[in-house]
Amino acid sequence: MAEPRFRASWKRRTSLTVRILAVNIIALGLMAGSLFYLDSYRKQLFEERFKLARAEAEIAAAGLARAAPDERVAQLIAVGNAQQLRLRLYDRNGKLALDSFALAPPSFTLIDPASQGWWEHGGRLIDRGMRLVLGSETAEPYRDPVIDRASAWPELGLAASSGQAAVAARSAPDQTPVINAAVPVGSAGELLLITRNARDITQSVRDARGTLALALAVTLLISIQLSLFLARTIVQPLRALVRAAVRVRLGRERAVEVPRLPERGDEIGLLARALSDMSRALRQRIDAVESFAADVAHEIKNPLASLRSALESLEKVEDHQLRAKLTAIAAHDIKRIDRLVTEIAEASRIDAELSRTQFTPIDLLVLAQNLVEARDERGENGQARVRIAPHGSGPWDVPGDEARLVRVLENLLNNAVSFSPIGGEVAVNLERDDDRLHLSVTDQGPGIPAEARAKVFDRFHSLRPDDEDFGKHSGLGLAIARTIAEAHDGTLTVTDRPDGKPGACLVLQLPATAEEVEEE
């Protein structure tokens, strides 16, 4: 369990800007590791130069073996000047016989580091650092012996014993390579040593390293700029969203707007619009809760005031008939409060319960038939006759919660029955329109005026018949029904009767079950 906590802590401590920069710089750091592969390039150059030195030594030795004694001097000078070499010939006793640098002006000169500029010192410092990091062996310094004899050069002894060319590398004072190649000359026991200061190897490696370092530096600069640009395009809008979200959470700015970033079509734009919609919906929900609380307080206050007045008067009244009347008023107010509390509790938990409910296919026709039969048995339809009339063959399945849909139909039927005249008819019609089902409840009452149709769904709004007992309805029935309908992705509206006759028509529209739509 410790590792997940460590990872979460690391993520909390590190900003997106730092992570973006780190990812890009780490990638470039891995590319910078290619600088170390220049060591293999340097070794390859040495191998090629060793082969060249062997070939040059063998060719020069073959020429000296065939040349007459008086031609050797000219041959040594010519080869040394042409190839920028130093050639030394040792006799069979190991004594230096001929030296091209003594016979003619030297064809190259070892450079004194003290005479060079700071950039050369820097190059040597980098060379030493690279060798230290790579663990490369450092060549021994090149020094001319005080007494120049064959025994002073181990490669001459190796060539003499093996009869083949031997090559060795040493380091000049300026840390450039000095390559010696030793080879036997003829069969008289003479030995030839050629020397070259291969400064071009060092320069080639430094040039390649400098070019790569420059490319990496430019790439690093571009990568940092792009990383910062990317960080700005990601982090800045996220910070704006965070600030807006904090203001919404603290509630310090009632009308704060979460930026929607309409110009962005990427995931951040989608997130911004989602947060904006969420904050707007949350604000609407908060406003609805506050309004609902105010309405509840207002509605409960009226029966409580009536109840208090009746109880206070009850103590002062001696007349038994008046006391009985006040007691009836108090009982009526208690029932009204109980009804209000029940309806309010029902209305307040509908959204929460439906958000957790798993909808199942429900046959709306069967549901309506069963409900009407149950109401007839309980006498809840009064003296009105309820008729169910499906139009079409269905199917009538909708996804939903059966208990909640029963509540919707109960409220619609209660409303229609209460406004129906004695012997009137309440029609429950079902129709199917592609992927929507329409269930309408029509009565023969006075109807609902056009200007009042939007208000009938408001909480605690009650437009009741004149002969109905006051307080019998809470004014939440249609509001609850619409809330349940909308939670089922449906609608509940008021229209005129289709036949043009007097009366109200409430239409419930619900989406049909998807499987049923596919089968059609």
The model's pLDDT over 109-151, given as tens digits with 9 standing for 90+, comes to 999 888 888 888 888 887 787 777 666 777 899 999 999 999 9
Q: What angle do CA 172, 178, 179 make, to 5 degrees?
A: 165
What's the rounded mean pLDDT across residues 223-227?
77
Beta carbons within 10 angstroms of residue 206's beta carbon: 18
- 143: region left, alpha or beta (phi > 0 left; psi from -120 to 50 alpha): beta
Topology of domain 358-519 in CATH is Heat Shock Protein 90 (3.30.565)
Q: Which residues fall within 8 angstroms of residue 216, CB to CB, at 6 or more apart?
A: 28, 31, 32, 35
The domain made up of 32-209 is a member of CATH 3.30.43.10:
no
Q: Which residues fall within 8 angstroms of residue 22, CB to CB, at 6 or more apart?
A: none
Q: How far apart are CA 445 and CA 424, in angstroms?
A: 8
What's the rounded mean pLDDT across residues 322-336?
78
Three-class SS state of 21:
helix
Q: What is the DSSP string of 468-489?
A: SPTTSS-S-HHHHHHHHHHHTT
Q: What is the pLDDT of residue 17?
A: 67
Q: Break the chain into its structural domains and give their ranges.
A: 32-209, 257-356, 358-519
Q: Which residues fall within 8 angstroms of residue 481, CB to CB, at 6 or more apart?
A: 407, 408, 411, 412, 492, 508
Q: What is the pLDDT of residue 483?
A: 83
Q: What is the pLDDT of residue 239?
A: 82
Burial of 299 (0-12, 13-18, 19+ CB in 10 A): buried
Task: Give yes or no for residue 478 having a pLDDT over 60.
Answer: yes
Give the model's confidence band at 481: pLDDT under 50 very low, under 70 low, under 90 confident, else very high: confident
Residue-wise pLDDT for 53-103, tens only, equals 999 999 999 999 998 888 999 999 999 999 999 999 999 999 999 999 999
Beta carbons within 10 angstroms of residue 149's beta carbon: 14
Task: Give yes or no for residue 2 having a pLDDT over 50.
Answer: no
The candidate with the shortest Cα–Cα distance to 323, out of 312, 334, 338, 337, is 312
Q: How far apart are CA 61 and CA 194, in angstroms?
A: 10
Burial of 398 (0-12, 13-18, 19+ CB in 10 A): buried
Write the CATH number of the domain with boundaries 257-356.
1.10.287.130
Residue-wise pLDDT for 418-472, tens only, equals 888 888 888 999 998 888 899 999 988 888 877 777 777 766 555 544 444 444 4
Q: Please tell me what DSSP assigns to residue 137.
A: P
Residues linked to residue 399 through DSSP beta bridges, in sequence order: 361
Cβ 426 vs Cβ 372: under 8 Å? no
